[in-house]
Structure 1
Amino acid sequence: MTDVVLAIDTATPAVTAGVVRRDGDRIDVLAERVTVDPRAHAEQLTPNVVAALADAGITVNDLTAVVVGCGPGPFTGLRVGMATAAAFGQALGVPVYGVCSLDAIGVDTAGEVLVVTDARRREVYWARYRDGERVEGPAVNAPSDVPANAGAVAGSPEHAALFALPRQPAVYPTPSGLVRAVDWTAPPQPLVPLYLRRPDAKPQPAPVVTP
């Protein structure tokens, strides 16, 4: 069965949207639009989706599935992508598959590779992969606390540079990586964001009203 998949990720500074044709193990990227801006997820995602669909020469009615990166990532950016994916799925009546965004990077690596992305607060999100399969993580730690028991590092260039390991070229989740990270033999599960820690914003206590 051939699927035409909308792939979305907003877990990193890359606001990614792409259209991918999947036929069994064959993956063909029909179009992709990526804007690297950590503050532009809400503004750029929908235009990137619309542009990718136009570049691929299809309409939303041609889509048969949606794949979205579920993090780990910052609260605000992550929910933009996941809410958009859920809205497309509900409106079109197509399944929505959530994947770990680190997996969408790790699937493009070979050998023993540590994948890291920016978690802010001088920390990184990380996971370790063996020939594209995750074997440890995801987790969030200070770089000095991340077990660097790998032969190479990939992911955020700024944070990969903190590790004395050879670099692999995978940097951000790609549309093809997102689609390849899905277990297509299993039914889609409810979307669950991988925050790995509480959001920065905290609810204020209710004011005390004195009689």
Structure 2
Amino acid sequence: MSDYMHNQTQNFRCPWCLGFEDYIRYHDEEWGVPVYSDRTHFEFLVLESAQAGLSWATILKKRKGYAKAFKDFDYQKVAHFSEEDINNLIADPSIVRNRMKVEAAVINARRFIEVQEKYGTFTGFMLDFVDGKPIQNAWKNMQEVPATTDLSNKVAKELKNYGFKFLGSTTVYAHLQATGIVNDHLVQCFRHQEVKRMAK
């Protein structure tokens, strides 16, 4: 057992993250933390749309590859990717080599900028769905945590109207969870209250 995992074993955490060190670290340090950076929102949109049909663990293991391939998630640069760039990405083993997903990331970068131009920030656009206040849920076990909600349905529909790809309601709900728009840490998880205190 690594020092990191050994030092964290005294804390109860959401069971979905147990398995390998990077997954636990992601849960303990990132998942559910309210995101106010547009670049971070874009990063999660790229990763979550790539996850479709795969496990988050698979994507997490390729995260560094995605950061390099997608210019550290600079959506301005990704929006200008050419067909040649896309072909190069499809040949890159450090990411999921799925043409539709790669093309979706480029399309979504362009749509992302359009949302920014209308709302000022993508963060503001997302937070408007919850009146600026992250939702604090109180789940006691994993069976209670939904895969989709009315909120994720609404956000997914709006993103689709803008032309975003590979962002259905299930993927959108994962985004809401990851970026702290909803706090879905189980109430007994040591991160539940920590994340709750972070919400502005």
For normalisation by structure 2, the TM-score amounts to 0.28
Higher normalized strand content (fraction of residues): 1
Higher Rg: 1
Q: Which structure carries more relative contact order (alpha carbon 8 Å, separation 6+)?
A: 2
For normalisation by structure 1, the TM-score amounts to 0.27
